[in-house]
Amino acid sequence: MQPQIVFLDRITLNVPLRSVNLAHQWVGYAQTRPEETADRLKDAVVAITNKVVINEAVLQHTPKLKLIAVAATGYNNIDLEACRARGITVCNVRDYALVGVSEHALMLMLALRRQLLAYRTDLMAGAWQKATGFCLLDHPLHDLNGSTLTLIGGGALGQAMAHTAKALGMRVIFAEHKNAAIVRPGYVPFNDALAQADVLSLHCPLTDETRDLLGEKEFALMKPTSILINTARGGIVDETALLAALQNHQLAGAGIDVLIEEPPRAGNPLLDVDLPNLIVTPHIAWASEETMQQLAEQLIGNVEAFLNGDPRNVVS
């Protein structure tokens, strides 16, 4: 009998997806609500999910399931412990968004350091038209060249961001784990790394260790001229504390591509304000067509590798 492969949220990968090059039965759903997940996976051997949660309650009803292929790098929507207990392999996609995420983070850095939103607002309000001089200098501008970029996360994404930043003449340092007893070669103690940052950019996963990694205490360590960039995961940053830091001028700006709840149906403090030094984008750093196509190819390759008895990119 051909193995059934079920893609639970195909709408999240808006590029062509080639067929798995092995005998199989394909079932694709545009979206899947939590109450539908178990029923849709009852005959599945392979489940593909981007953001649909697969937990203990779901796995109790999936006797044939052997592989969960996550269509993303982050896999915090999967109960790994429950999968291990049932011998279910979990794999993810890796290193596909090195260019896309770095470019998006760079865009946010440039927009904030060059006060793009503030000057656009002034221009739309007629401030330049009324200026006494040839230019408008109401907001301080800063170059990225010569500034210090602190990176949290030294994996492939962090290294790609470092490569891009160095090409612009930025000084790059990597922050050691918070409260680490030993500082690894090439890293800077966490608090010192925050204090040195002109730009702080996050490129780490959301785990128990990184949840609420940055909050009121950490923002107080940073320069009032520094900016925060988060293209990693919502939950790493305390959003209420971040808003307070921006409003109290403890930080000069923030560029955020991820929120704790996505989509933010119940609202979010960062969406309830209109600040010239806050840019929020709807989790799209990874979503260029070129980047998504790389993800799609690796995803199908992961499924084929597992079905051929040679699983790859295994996280559990």
* Annotated catalytic residue within 262, 289, 290, 312: 262
- SS3 of 15-65: the string is CCCCCCCCCCEEEECCCCCHHHHHHHCCCCCEEEECCCCECHHHHCCCCCC
Distance CA 61, CA 57 (A): 8
* Residue 182 DSSP label: S
Question: 177 an active-site residue?
Answer: no
C-beta of residue 114 within 8 angstroms of C-beta of residue 197: no
Strand partners, 68: 47, 90
Q: 289 catalytic, yes or no? A: no
Catalytic residue among 142, 283, 297, 304: 283
SS3 137: coil
| 253 half-sphere exposure, CB direction, 13 A CA radius | 26
- Phi, psi (5° rounding) for residue 152? -105, 110
DSSP string, 250-271: SSSEEEE---SSSS-TT--GGG
- Out of 40, 104, 177, 233, pick the active-site residue: 233
- Told to judge if 139 belongs to the known catalytic residues of this protein, a careful annotator would answer no
Catalytic machinery residues = 233, 262, 283
